[in-house]
Amino acid sequence: MSLIELNNVTLGYEKHIVLRNIDIKIEEGDFVCVVGPNGSGKSTLIKGILGLIKPLKGKIKYNNLKQNFIGYMPQETKVDANFPASVLEIVLSGTLNNSGFKPFYSKEAKEKALNNLKLLHIENLKNKSFADLSGGQRQKVLLARSLCATSKLLILDEPSNNLDTKSKENLYEMISNLNKEGITIIMITHDLDHGNLIGNKILSLREDEIFYGSTTDFVRRIHHDK
């Protein structure tokens, strides 16, 4: 069953069109890697799916999915590393979108945050300051926060940025395991090493061509173009 459908969608800002006539379906359980050069519209696409901008044309359809139940993990550089908060406080903030207007976090929200810390094997960091963590640890904390918002769909914006090879491998393994457990994933990446195209589908955005299909077909096309 499709989770999100983009039907002939054009996205942009005022009179500036960034993406034209996007027509794709993201199925439940998919892991879609979004690739393309800078300025190709990757971030604009994500803003459209998150509902931050409205399509200039076409329609984005959500099937059995509310927008505020989408987990979004921004690039690490978009979160102030010096923000005076503990790891647990950062992760708990992921529950805000679907908890309503409550002055305090509920018992259920705290349990969810702790469970996601355990899932990513970082429960030992819960009382540490976010500012004191390594780059790899911060990415895991942000992933745990995004998991607090969803059990259906995660959108990740270049999660491996600024990570060393080992940290990147660990993060990709965690993301792959989440997908195997049933969470649909959309991941923006600049990492075109074939071993790191870990999803089952690729959405490649270029000015001259948009490709959407299996990772196998995409890799075959890359080799053919060479």
Which domains, ranges and CATH numbers included, belong to the chain? 1-65+154-164+184-226 (3.40.50.300)
Task: Check if the beta carbon of residue 162 is closer than 8 Å to that of residue 140.
Answer: no
pLDDT attached to residue 99? 57
The tokens for 86 are 């503990």
Considering only residues 79 and 10, tell me which one the structure prediction assigns the higher pLDDT: 10
Question: What is residue 133's three-state secondary structure?
Answer: coil
Residue 10: closest CA among 32, 38, 41: 41
Q: What is the pTM of this model?
A: 0.85
The mean pLDDT value for 56-84 works out to 78
Q: Does residue 201 surpass a pLDDT of 90?
A: yes
Between the alpha carbon of residue 89 and those of residues 4, 99, 125, 148, the distances in Å are: 31, 15, 11, 12
pLDDT band at 193 (very low <50, low <70, confident <90, very high): low
**For 183, which DSSP code?**
-
The mean pLDDT value for 198-210 works out to 87
The tokens for 189 are 């990446």
Which phi and psi (to 5°) does residue 71 adopt?
A: -85, 130
pLDDT attached to residue 80? 62
pLDDT band at 54 (very low <50, low <70, confident <90, very high): very high
- What burial letters (b/e) apply to 61-85, b meaning 16+ CB within 10 Å? ebeebeeeebbbbbbbeeeeeeeee
The tokens for 123 are 């429960």
Considering only residues 192 and 134, tell me which one the structure prediction assigns the higher pLDDT: 134
The mean pLDDT value for 60-77 works out to 81
Percentage, residues of the chain above pLDDT 90: 43
pLDDT attached to residue 127? 94
pLDDT attached to residue 166? 83
